[in-house]
Amino acid sequence: MIKKQRNINFGAALLFVIFCLLFFVLFFRFIYIQATGTVEGQVLAEKAENKYTGATTIEAKRGTIYDRNGEVIAEDKSSYSLIAILRKTMTTDKNDPQHVVDAEKTARELAKYIDLKESTILKIIRDGQKDDRFQVEFGSAGRDLTVETKKKIEKLKLPGVSFTRNMKRFYPNGIFASHVVGFTETKEAKNHQTVTTGKLGIEKLLNDELTGKNGAFQYESDVWGYLLPNGEEQITPAQDGKNVYLTIDRKIQILLEDAMNKANKEFSPKKIIGIVADAKTGEILAMSQRPTFDPETRAGIEKSWYNEAVETSFEPGSTMKIFTLAAAVEEGVFNPNETYQSGRYVVDPRSKAVPDHNGGRGWGTITFLEGVQRSSNVAFAKLANEKIGFDKFREYISLFGLDKPTGIDLPNETGGKIAYHYAIEKATTAFGQGTAITPIQQVQAATAVANKGQIMQTHVVDRIEDPKTGATIKKSEPKVVGTPISESTAKQVRDYLETVVTAENGTGHNYAIEGYPVAGKTGTAQIPGKGGYLSGSGNYIYSFLGMAPKDDPKLIVYVAVQQPNLEKNPDGSVPVANIFKSVMKNSLQYLQIEPSDQKPIEAVTLPKVTDLAVTEAEEKLAVLGLKPIVLGNGTRIMKQIPAANETLLPGERVILKTDGKLTAPDMTGWSFRDVMKVAELAKMKLNSTGSGYVSKQNVVSGAALKAGEHLIVELQNPSAAAAKSNDEAEETEGIEMKVKDQ
């Protein structure tokens, strides 16, 4: 009995000690929490506040990218995705169903507004019901719906049919300087918010400036999350991204895109590169390439991730001779009337002789000016070696900036690769072989010849603005980055280069433009392959670097076409010339540069004709030499494209929307940009096939134009006149050189 009592006492004492320890642990835990206000690193006050506080993200808008004249190139717009709720538990009131009740009716009605067949929509809904899915979506056909389409579907009051809203990056011009502008990619972050990031071009380079900062709306709520009537609210406004204005001119860019489309269709080359620059400021007015891609859909991006004008260097061919000639003139060693023996030139007895491009036959004893006109490799090798001197010529390569990146405001720029160790390399560099440089390096260097000897920094960003205040945050000003030659040298070089186009023996006959004297140089560069250079018809990079008007250049245009299909026309300069002449001439006319032998083309300032009677508006535009195109059978003008105060050339179309039912005009022979105006006014989805000008349209003339429906046009190139053959055109401008060790 005593032993049992002792055990009970011991047990009681043990329990007392345990409870005392637990009490002290809880007591000290309570004191710690009271003193620090935290539990396992979590602030209790914050947790309590979060329990009774709701928050909604206010999404910031990504900055808009404009051209130099304020035309939208890339912008954020609201778009909507269609969904259908299938889960029956979402309906709590039978009189107000929140799920799809009648699948057949839903499919039948939706098929009227999205690009899917009724049977396909019904299958999507049925499959979702079978799999007991909460909701279903309708693929690409149900995404990116406009506000107008959303409203039309909402009016149907279909149970279970709903929408999700999101911001989408919109590129209204389609394929338009795609590698310059770039594109964005949207992904979901860990906090379930979406993050948009620029992946190429300006979108990537200025991603931080374009990206805004999301805001928030915070409010007090009860335990069920409902807003308290007298609760406190706190709004943190979203900060939209900065707006970026480019130096790109939309109209000149469209001229370049159209010309490249035509050449691409007709000659099917491996690549095309085109650049248009302001000769006085270095501003890039247009830049494009083929292959290219659609920045909105990414279609074609797998063919070319690189901006060929900036990120790829290659042997320039004879366009390099512009800078060799400039160096010789600046050094005072170029005598246009001095003669030399063309054909072949031995630079180093241990290396093969430099041959002229006609197989080394040459043209006998000719002057150095004729050597420039005929693009003689021997002439330029002799100038670099015997007249300028290889060491001095190397200095000029640096002075023209051909051995380093230009610093243009585009991502991933590469620099030139100057091969200048052996004597034969120094000689071939003088006529553009063996050394690799980028197109943008050539264009920037050419500004010295066009602009009184001063090299102007090339750039594509004009300014960055605050979207709220319109204040300029950053502005690019014309910048001189070198003066390799004098103003008088620049003028002489332009005079010599003009003869490349005009002289009987010149290689640039195809590049002559009526009314605008052109100074420039042709190029036919070989392409390195396995074990040497590629051979065979068309296996070259044909190019032209030119400026106009010659006496006071306004524009510099560079075009390169790699490996075109020359079955129909063996002259490789034709596709290059077709692009150059079209872009240069039309751009000069658009800029109101007066032709030397023609009356000036006077531009017209477009008046405001909205709210006017149709007949009055037509008369007002016709007097100015413009072509009014009226959409609809109304009596008054409701909207016009282009807008009032824009500058147009006589003969341009002005699309007018009336207050009546819209009908389709006959668009045969129209440019694609004019069709875009119709689609915009009619709020239709525009699609096209081919390139060139309209040959067919899916909505016949006079038929109703319905918002949200597709407007499809087929484009074709007009029959091109056969290009004048050029017996003196360059055949090949380089040879494979085997160099022995020295």
pLDDT in tens, 592-625: 998 986 555 577 888 999 999 988 988 888 888 8
Q: What is the pLDDT, as a whole number, of residue 195?
A: 82
Q: Is cis: bond before 549, omega within 30 of 0?
A: yes
Between 699 and 587, the higher pLDDT residue: 587
CA distance 692 to 678: 17
Q: What is the pLDDT of residues 80-123, one digit of tens each?
A: 889 999 988 888 888 889 999 999 999 999 999 999 999 999 99
Higher model confidence: residue 104 or residue 228?
104
Q: Distance between CA 483 and CA 690 in Å, rounded?
A: 45
- Token digits of residue 312: 């790829």
> Could you say which architecture CATH assigns to the domain 604-716?
2-Layer Sandwich (3.30)
* pLDDT attached to residue 738: 35
pLDDT at 206 over 90: yes
Q: Are 448 and 329 in contact (CB under 8 A)?
A: no
Q: Exactly one of 79, 81, 288, 318 is catalytic; name it.
A: 318
Known catalytic residue: 719? no
Strand order in 215-220's β-sheet?
53-58, 215-220, 233-236
Q: What is the pLDDT of residue 725?
A: 30
Instruction: Give tens-digit pLDDT for 289-298.
Output: 999 999 988 9
Averaged pLDDT of the chain: 86
Asked whether this chain's domains 56-170+207-241 and 604-716 adopt the same fold, the reply is no
Residue type, 252: I
Topology of domain 56-170+207-241, CATH:
Alpha-Beta Plaits (3.30.70)
Q: Would you give the end-to-end CA distance of the chain in angstroms?
A: 116
What local confidence, expressed as pLDDT, does residue 322 receive?
98
CATH of region 250-590: 3.40.710.10
Q: Chain centroid to CA 279: how far?
A: 21
pLDDT for res 540: 93
pLDDT in tens, 309-320: 999 999 999 999
Domain boundaries, the chain: 2-48, 56-170+207-241, 250-590, 604-716
The pLDDT value given to residue 40: 54
Cβ proximity of 86 and 100 under 8 Å? yes
pTM as predicted: 0.72
